[in-house]
Structure 1
Amino acid sequence: MKDKKQLFLSFLMIVVLALMLPMSALGAPGNDAPPDPAYAKWGRIAVQEVKAKYPEDKVVDYLHVGRKTNNQETIETFKLWLEGETKEFGVIIDIHFDTDTEKITNIQFKETSR
């Protein structure tokens, strides 16, 4: 139980710090927000897909693992950490898409304990 509480408090502190950072960056007029990383679009899709597959569980962490491009196909890989009522687990999600059109061709899920 103590580990869950420490994990929650750590997560909460990261969220608070993340919310405070943009406030300090936007202090001066005329500052533009940094552009989203190239994987942001795919990260949003990964979160949506995992939430749809595991509707009873809560996504508590998110990691962009990397991108691989082979000929006409690109694969974006993410690892999401989920909490349910009875367990915590990770889901590695690979989003396959056509490099030119960005049309999704396949989505693969793999549960992991770490």
Structure 2
Amino acid sequence: MIKILLSVQLIYGLCLFGDLPFFNLNNVIKAQQEVPPYAKWGQIALKKTKEKYPQADIVDYLHIGKEKGTEHSTEKFKLWLKEDSKEFGVLVDITFHNETEQIMDINYTESMR
């Protein structure tokens, strides 16, 4: 009898609180659909790094930030690569013209951490 009573209370509680905003599936779907503004530059960083280090696998990716200038800006990323038994980081800075988004320069700096 106690099990039935607890089950009924649990079902009632789920029905009562099931429509709260933090349980709303629509919010989860919306959050998954938002694309960060640096995504385009991240894809370029991944592609260009793979071209520069064709034998390495990219195992991790981090957007460090953006340095915004009046005419040019730089998106900064850190990629973690693995080649054979060696693992190393590569800092990738993509500098581009703000208005046209034309890439001005891509700089690679290897790091051990």
Partner of 1:61: 60
SS in structure 1 at match of 2:44:
helix
Relative to the length of structure 1, the TM-score reads: 0.72
CA RMSD of aligned residues (A): 1.8
Partner of 2:72: 73
**Larger CA Rg, structure 1 vs 2:** 2
Q: Does 1:95 align with 2:94?
A: yes
CA distance in 2, matches of 1:41, 1:73: 16
Identity %: 44
CA distance in 2, matches of 1:36, 1:71: 24
SS in structure 2 at match of 1:36:
coil
Measured after TM superposition, the shift of residue 85 of structure 1 is: 0.4
CA distance in 1, matches of 2:85, 2:104: 33
Relative to the length of structure 2, the TM-score reads: 0.72
Count how many residue pairs are aligned between Structure 1 and Structure 2.
Answer: 88
Q: Which amino acid aligns with 2:74?
A: I
5+ residue gaps, structure 1, are 1-26
Partner of 1:48: 47
Structure 1 stretches of at least 4 aligned residues deviating more than 6 Å after TM superposition: none
